[in-house]
Amino acid sequence: MNRWHLALLAALCAVSLAACRGDETVSAYGGAGKVWKLVELDGIAVSYRATLSFPEPGQLAGEAPCNSFRGAMTVPYPWFEATDIVSTRIACTELNAETTYFSALTTMTLSEVLGETMILSTPEGRSMVFTASE
């Protein structure tokens, strides 16, 4: 085998090993297969509907008070990082709540799944509490 073949073989092995590791995000640790409904933000009960789900490894999606959204979530559990969020652009009376939701979601850095409860938080004491819904 020449050097080019060895380099190609090494690259293929590296890709195969990465694929075998699988999902290490919150979705692999109890977050997948559920729609998480926001029930509390920074210790205060929310009155609007906002959800979060993990449809595929490395992805997140949901419904904010006005718009649906999707994004990326690729850091390993228990870390949390919502990135590349895109949403529809429908106006409604809950736009302030939606801005608050997205702002909070993108600042969360830790995740914990405890059965039917998921808590996202920051070291500074911010938190989002979700419960699994159907």
Question: Tell me, what CATH number does 80's domain have?
Answer: 2.40.128.270
Q: Does residue 102 fall inside a structural domain?
A: yes
Share the mean pLDDT of the chain: 87
Contact at 8 Å (CB) between 98 and 64?
Answer: yes
51 in a domain, yes or no?
yes
Q: Based on the structure, what is the number of domains in the chain?
A: 1
| Surface-to-core class of residue 17, CB atoms within 10 Å of its CB (0-12 exposed, 13-18 middle, 19+ buried) | exposed
Dihedral through CA 52, CA 72, CA 126, CA 116, nearest 10?
40
Q: Examine residue 10 and state whether it is found in any structural domain, yes or no.
A: no
In this prediction, residue 23 has a pLDDT band, given cuts at 50, 70 and 90, of confident
Residue 3 maps to a domain? no
Q: Is residue 6 scored above 50 in pLDDT?
A: no
Structural domain boundaries enclosing 79: 23-133
Please calculate the CA angle 112-77-110 and round it to the nearest 5 degrees.
Answer: 50
| pLDDT for 16 beyond 50 | no
What does the pLDDT read at residue 19? 40
80 belongs to a structural domain: yes
Q: Does 70 map to a domain?
A: yes
